[in-house]
Amino acid sequence: DGGITQSPKYLFRKEGQNVTLSCEQNLNHDAMYWYRQDPGQGLRLIYYSQIVNDFQKGDIAEGYSVSREKKESFPLTVTSAQKNPTAFYLCASSPSTGGGNQPQHFGDGTRLSIL
């Protein structure tokens, strides 16, 4: 079945360490997104990518980095510069820009905690 796979489901980070969250989709979607979810704050956009080898900062990009070398993959690195990384991270994808109903589809999330 087509879908979005995020891994790992739980991740722990030590002080000063970079960690990478994986997001893979087999929906043939052009656009991919990373959101951070904190209790009572809804979803905040970290980065998004409309096409391979291109990505844009969202509202809270500081302390994060991404790459988009393949259409199906959009990994997120949480760097040591992100001082409060404990959160639930959600990856999403949607078809390319254009008309019509093109909702975002979500993975099951990765919960990141500080050791």
Q: Which residues bind another protein (CB under 8 A)?
A: 4, 6, 31, 33, 35, 40-43, 45, 48, 50, 59, 90, 92, 94, 96-97, 101-109, 111
Residue 35 or 64 having the CB closest to another protein = 35
Distance, in Å, from the CA atom of 41 to the CA atom of 58, rounded to the nearest integer, reads 16
Q: How far is the CB of 88 from another protein (least distance, A)?
A: 8
Distance, in Å, from the CA atom of 105 to the CA atom of 93, rounded to the nearest integer, reads 5
Residue 18 or 28 having the CB closest to another protein = 28
Residue 82 or 93 having the CB closest to another protein = 93
Q: How far is the CB of 30 from another protein (least distance, A)?
A: 8
Write out the E strands in 8-109: 10-13, 19-25, 31-37, 43-51, 54-57, 64-66, 76-78, 87-94, 105-106
Distance, in Å, from the CA atom of 81 to the CA atom of 90, rounded to the nearest integer, reads 20
Q: How far is the CB of 86 from another protein (least distance, A)?
A: 15
38 DSSP β-pair partners: none
Residue 5 or 18 having the CB closest to another protein = 5
